[in-house]
Amino acid sequence: MAWIKEEDMKAIRAQADIVDIISKYISVEKKGKNYQAQCPFHDDHDPSMSISEEKQIFKCFVCGAGGNVFSFVQKYEKITFPEAVYKVAQWINYPLALDSIQIKEKKDPFEQERKVLREYSDYLEYELFSEDGKAALAALHARQFDEETIRRFQIGYAPEGKKSEYFLKAKHFGEERMRDAGVLNEGRAVFFDRIMIPIHDSKGLPVGYTARRLG
C-alpha cells in the first residue's frame, strides 16, 4: 500500500474544518470560542469533548481521546490512518489520486483477532489516562514520553486485577479468538499492571504487544 505524500496530508488538513467533519458523525454545539459534544469514545452522558476550531483539534477531558481531524475519523470508524486521510479528502473534494491508497483489502483470515487487538488497544489507552493508570503515565512522563508520542504509538496500561478480563469478556469476542490474539489464556488476562506498547503492522494496525511491568 503506497503511503500518502506529506504535502497532500498537510493540504487536506489545512482545508478540512474539523468542526464540519466531526459534525458528520455526532452533534456539536458552540460553547464560547470552542465547540462541545458528547464523546463517542466512552459512555458519555454530559458533553465532555471540546473541539477547537482555531487549533483544529479535539480533546475529551474524561477518557483522554484527542487529536486532529484524521485521528477522529480513524478512531470513530476504526479504519487505518491512510483510509481516514482518504475519507476526509473525499469530503472536501481534494484531488487525492485513487491509486495512492488501497482501500479495498483481500479477506483477512485474522480479521476477528485484529478486531480484538484494536478494541483492546483502545481500552488500554483509556486506562492509561484513568485514575488506575496514573503511576504508569507518570513513569512514561519521567522517561520523556509526551502525550503526542503516547497517542501516536497507542501506548496504554493494563490495570491490576481482573479489569482486563471483565472488559474482554464483556465484548463477547469468544475465548478462542482472544486466546489466538494473545490477550487471554485459560480464561485469564495475559497482561496486568503493565505499560503496553502495541506492535503495529505496515497499515498501522496492532498485531501484538510488548509490555513493561511497573516497578
20-64 pLDDT per residue, tens: 999 999 999 998 999 999 999 988 888 999 999 999 999 999 888
Quote the DSSP letter at residue 5.
P
Q: Would you state the torsion angle of the CA atoms of residues 133, 139, 142, 143, taken in this order, to the nearest 10 degrees?
A: -120
Element (DSSP H or E) covering residue 76: helix 69-77
Burial of 88 (0-12, 13-18, 19+ CB in 10 A): buried
* pLDDT above 50 for 171: yes
DSSP 14-41: HHS-HHHHHHTTS--EEETTEEEE--TT
Fold classified for 6-100: DNA Primase; Chain A (3.90.580)
Nearest to 24 by CA among 61, 62, 51, 46: 51
User: Is residue 103 over pLDDT 60?
Assistant: no
Q: What's the pLDDT at 50?
A: 95
CA separation for the pair 171, 12 (Å, rounded): 35
Query: Is it true that domain 111-213 has CATH number 3.90.980.10?
Result: yes
For the cut 50, the answer to whether the pLDDT of residue 2 exceeds it is: no
Domain ranges of the chain: 6-100, 111-213
